[in-house]
């Protein structure tokens, strides 16, 4: 990986299928990715989880990443893309759910120019802010950004920077919008219907 090729989603001779999983903070991206992995054999790469692991690893970028996450800001694309590339290269799988990425225009355009990978489809979990706030405040996973002050900042970043990326993919006909306000099992029924149509 690292350069644009004639066959954009090809890495070391294997065809890579990438699905971006987008939606607001707390819309249920991680929850549904777990279900998709169990049922459809994808590997789940959460950009947020990779960044949190980078902090824990004691990397030189750790303090910068931690400060950005506390403020609900988007880490420079170059950092997140390196983590995603490494995870893709180290995996034996060819099918990836990339959760929480691209989060802004810089994420999107840098990923495309650096990797040449284009998503097969983009899953968009659509949920009201009121419901997402309730879920995040009840999540109880010890995340430093699940407090009301940071949650509000994350919502602002989502509206200003992430929604335009979803709109961009919608203009390309790639977005599959899901009503994420339903109960978890009902959301997964809708997700399944979409995946049954995706060519493996
Ligand atoms: N459909 C749902 N109905 C009710 N609760 C849900 C639903 N989906 C997920 N949850 C719960 O909401 C919380 C947030 O879900 P999850 O971590 O999957 O969201 P996320 O989109 O990955 O959030 P983030 O962007 O912050 O990582 C979790 O506690 C999860 O159990
Ligand atoms: N592409 C991304 C994804 C995430 N971040 C930072 O991580 C925080 C948590 O992300 P989740 O998807 O786990 O909610 C997010 O608020 C950002 O600070 C990022 O910078 N770039
Ligand atoms: Mg998540």
Confidence of residue 8 (pLDDT cuts 50, 70, 90): low
Which residue has the CA at smallest separation from atom 1 of ligand 1? 184
The mean pLDDT value of the chain amounts to: 93
pTM to 2 decimal places? 0.95
Mean pLDDT of 156-161: 98
Confidence of residue 11 (pLDDT cuts 50, 70, 90): low
Distance 100 CA to ligand 2 centre (A): 7
63-121 confidence digits (pLDDT tens): 999 999 999 999 999 999 999 999 999 999 999 999 999 999 999 999 999 999 999 99
Which of 108-113's residues contact partners 24+ apart within 8 Å by CB, and which partners?
108/165, 108/168, 110/77, 110/78, 110/81, 111/77, 111/81, 111/84, 113/4
Q: Is 72 in the pocket of ligand 1 (CB under 6 A)?
A: no
| Complex ipTM over 0.85 | yes
Distance 23 CA to ligand 3 centre (A): 10
Q: Which atom of ligand 2 is nearest to the CA of 103?
A: 1
- What are the sequence ranges of the domains in the chain? 16-195
> 16-195 in CATH: which number?
3.40.50.300
């Amino acid at each position: 990986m690292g350069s644009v090729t004639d066959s954009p989603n090809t890495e070391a001779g294997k065809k890579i299928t990438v699905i971006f999983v987008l939606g607001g903070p707390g819309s249920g991206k991680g929850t549904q990715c777990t279900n998709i992995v169990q049922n459809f054999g994808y590997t789940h790469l959460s950009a947020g989880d990779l960044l949190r692991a980078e902090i824990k690893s004691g990397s030189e970028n750790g303090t910068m990443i931690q400060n950005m996450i506390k403020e609900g800001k988007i880490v420079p694309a170059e950092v997140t893309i390196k983590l995603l590339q490494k995870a893709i290269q180290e995996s034996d799988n060819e099918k990836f759910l990339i959760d929480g990425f691209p989060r802004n225009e810089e994420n999107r355009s840098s990923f495309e120019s650096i990797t040449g990978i284009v998503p097969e489809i983009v899953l968009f979990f659509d949920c009201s802010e009121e419901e997402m706030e309730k879920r995040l405040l009840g999540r109880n996973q010890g995340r430093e950004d699940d407090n009301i002050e940071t949650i509000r900042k994350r919502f602002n970043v989502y509206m200003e920077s992430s929604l335009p990326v979803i709109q961009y993919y919608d203009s390309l006909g790639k977005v599959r919008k899901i009503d994420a306000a339903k109960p978890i099992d009902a959301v997964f029924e809708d997700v399944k219907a979409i995946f049954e149509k995706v060519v493996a």
